Amino acid sequence: MREGYELYKKGRLLMKTGDYEEAILLFRRSAEMEPHFKTFELLGESLLTLNRISESVGPLAAATTLNRGVRAPSLLAEAFLRNQKFDDAEDFAKIALQRDPGNKRARDVLKSLETNKMLQSGRSKNPPRP
């Protein structure tokens, strides 16, 4: 049990220095030994930072389920937004806002979704001219 926590702590330090690839390896090993919401959250965040969006979803979903915090669902909403899964992005942004109505990341996701809807609406009303 102690080894999993040590791997987690090393992974956090590596994130701070920007070595996300190595941090990901340590977080994965840590999660295998001692599954913990924060390990999954930071694993997902590291993957998202490296634009490995689809890979980030599983760990962020696990973190969202294992803990009632706001950070994991807001990161998950961002991942779905970046992956153009707009309904899922909206769902998880709303979950984050239920947990913390002032969460900036979740609010930003909803604003982006609203902007996207307005742009799509404008395109359908004004089709491009030949």
Residue whose C-alpha is closest to residue 98's, from 88, 108, 109, 106? 106
Percent of the chain with pLDDT over 90: 88
Within-domain flag for 45: yes
| 35 assigned to some structural domain | yes
Q: What angle do CA 45, 5, 95 make, to 5 degrees?
A: 35
Mind listing the pLDDT tens digit for each residue in 17-63? 999 999 999 999 999 999 999 999 999 999 999 999 999 999 999 99
Count of structural domains, the chain: 1
Band of pLDDT at residue 121, cut at 50, 70 and 90: confident
Whether residue 79 is contained in a domain is answered as yes
| Domain hosting residue 29, numbered range | 2-125
Distance CA 20, CA 26 (A): 10
- Burial label for 18, CB within 10 Å (0-12, 13-18, 19+), is exposed
pTM of the model: 0.90
DSSP secondary structure of 17-29 = HT-HHHHHHHHHH
In the block, residue with structure tokens 């900036």: 104
Distance between CA atoms of 116 and 112, rounded to whole angstroms? 6
Specify whether the CB–CB gap between 120 and 127 falls below 8 A. no
Residue 45 contacts residue 26 (beta carbons within 8 Å): no
Residue 12 CA to residue 85 CA, distance in Å, equals 29
- Residue 78 belongs to a domain: yes
CATH number of 21's domain: 1.25.40.10
Q: Residue 130 falls within a domain, yes or no?
A: no
Q: For the chain, how big is the Rg over CA atoms in Å? A: 17
Note the pLDDT of residue 127: 53
